Amino acid sequence: MNAMTPAPTSQPDLLDFSFVLFGGTGDLAMRKILPALYAAHRDGMLAPGGKILAVAITALDCNGYLAWVEEHVKPRVPESTIDDAAWLGFLGRISYVRLDAAQPDSFASLAEALRNAPGRRIFYMATGPALFVPICSALGAAGLTEGASVVLEKPLGHDLESSTAINDAVGRIFSEDQIYRIDHYLGKEAVQNLFALRFGNSLFEPLWRREWVESIQITVAEELGVEGRGNFYDQTGALRDMVQNHLLQLMSIVAMEPPQSMDADAVRDEKLRVLRALKPLRGDEIRQNVVRGQYQTGSINGAGVPAYRSEAGVGMDSRTETFVALKAEVENWRWAGVPFFLRTGKRLAARVAEIVVNFRTVPHSTLGPTALRPGSNRLMIRLQPTESIRLTALAKQPGLGMTLQDVYLDLAFDQFFQHERMEAYQRLLLDVIAGRLALFVRRDEQEAAWKWVAPIIDHWAAPESAPKLYASGTWGPAASSALLARHNTCWLEEEN
């Protein structure tokens, strides 16, 4: 058993549900969704009558699927959280239906399995986006959508046109308040704490504006490469895979105005205003403010790794980007003139996701040049690998003279809160079951993000456009550092 206790909750009475998991034998179901549902079950956050129905084309019966879960899910659950009685109880919730999602006639077996199923139906699309519309259409034809919810995983389309087509088709079957477009970064504890930090403390709100903020950095870096997903990734790239959704969502939360309430549409209205206020990038502005990179051979943790173009499923002449760094601006009264530097990439020097708010230095120092050093006052919100918040300030060193040095005020969640942290997928799945939409992306948000990145996509489609190469195990192309240097700043790790 885990030594930490589950997080206390104040949720209302638990609701029965029928959770239908399309792609039930796939990687996402095994790695994220079923482990998250087990954690919720173990912590007593699922109604006793709630059921999980896995759906896939794999030739299995129910017992065969439970054996599949034992083999592929249980090893991905932290050993310290495995409780034999809880695990058996969790398996007791699960059943399996084999069907071909591309064949509408096969949905009769699903309708039969759901005939007496409890509670509200939740259809989770843990499949490729090409199956979203056929599945939703078949669910509608089978009469299974009334009062149900559908969860759509990213990527939702390849560009604005394809995203609109999917949304239009799904929207003919499900209303907007039935559709949950999931972005798992919005379920992370540190992202939730952004709301608490900004809107629950009078300390920060007066400083959260152009008069006091010099710049903001948002980084999501991975040590991993494409990990056997070359066929998918080579058609997607870092701009579509990470910037259009995760990074722009994080940026919109950082930059949004205080919502009238924490109701779903109040929060999403304010995020939308940020996305619509993004300064458009065109032509020369893209060349000056967007860096596109692709990893070469190098070393990660002492082990050699191949170049991107040597990965399985990747073309030898691929121009797909595995790294993006860019400067964005929000054209409103709060943020005008403040650069937002966004960065993401694969095969980088470390796995880290963080938001860094750099406050302006004092206008005049009577305590020497240290007080004028950029970064002497900053707020760092770490999302991974561990979640924490750190506020940097200057203090006097003990002893004679007035020598200043950085000191830190730290909130490490795993140390301060002596109970187990809820993983992002667990929180988001519980919100779906409870019918809470605030942490899910609304259609107009998604389309505003696609509209902003569309000129970059088009610019990179030109034959003469090519990514800048960088060695695996580094922080990306040198042009990424030059981008910030032109604004008299640098990435956080470059300060030392």
**pLDDT tens per residue across span 366-402:** 777 777 777 788 999 998 888 888 888 877 788 877 8
Residue 75 pLDDT: 92
Report the predicted TM-score, pTM, of the whole model to 2 decimal places: 0.91
Q: Let me know if 91 is exposed, middle or buried by CB neighbors in 10 A (0-12, 13-18, 19+).
A: middle
Phi, psi of 328 (to 5 degrees): -120, 155
Per the CB < 8 A criterion, the answer to whether 324 and 291 are in contact is yes
Residue 419 pLDDT: 64
Instruction: Tell me how far apart the alpha carbons of residues 220 and 127 are, in angstroms, rounded to a whole number.
Output: 24
What is the phi-psi region of residue 147: left when phi exceeds 0, alpha when psi lies from -120 to 50, beta otherwise? left
Helix 84-91 and helix 62-72, axial crossing angle in degrees, nearest 10: 140
Catalytic-role residue among 72, 158, 246, 364:
246
Give the annotated binding-site residues for NADP(+): 154
Instruction: Tell me how far apart the alpha carbons of residues 8 and 432 are, in angstroms, rounded to a whole number.
Output: 19
Domains of the chain, with CATH numbers?
5-153 (3.40.50.720), 186-420+445-495 (3.30.360.10)
Residue 1 pLDDT: 36
Mean pLDDT calculated for residue range 33-56: 96
Q: Is the pLDDT of residue 31 over 70?
A: yes
Identify whether 41 is a catalytic site residue.
Answer: no
The tokens for 170 are: 């799904």
The tokens for 46 are: 């699922």
| Summary mean pLDDT of the chain | 91
**pLDDT tens per residue across span 286-315:** 999 999 999 999 998 888 999 999 999 999
Give the annotated binding-site residues: 154, 184, 188, 222, 241, 346
Question: Between 408 and 113, whose confidence is greater?
Answer: 113
CA-based radius of gyration for the chain = 24
Tell me the one-letter amino acid at 261. S
Long-range contacts of 198-204 (CB under 8 A, 24+ apart): 198/258, 199/258, 199/259, 204/379
Lowest mean pLDDT among 22-26, 29-33, 110-114, 379-383: 379-383
Give the contacts of 16 (CB within 8 A, at least 6 positions apart).
47, 49, 50, 118, 119, 120
| Burial track 117-127 (b if 16+ CB lie within 10 A, e otherwise) | bebbbbbbbbb
Phi, psi of 63 (to 5 degrees): -65, -40
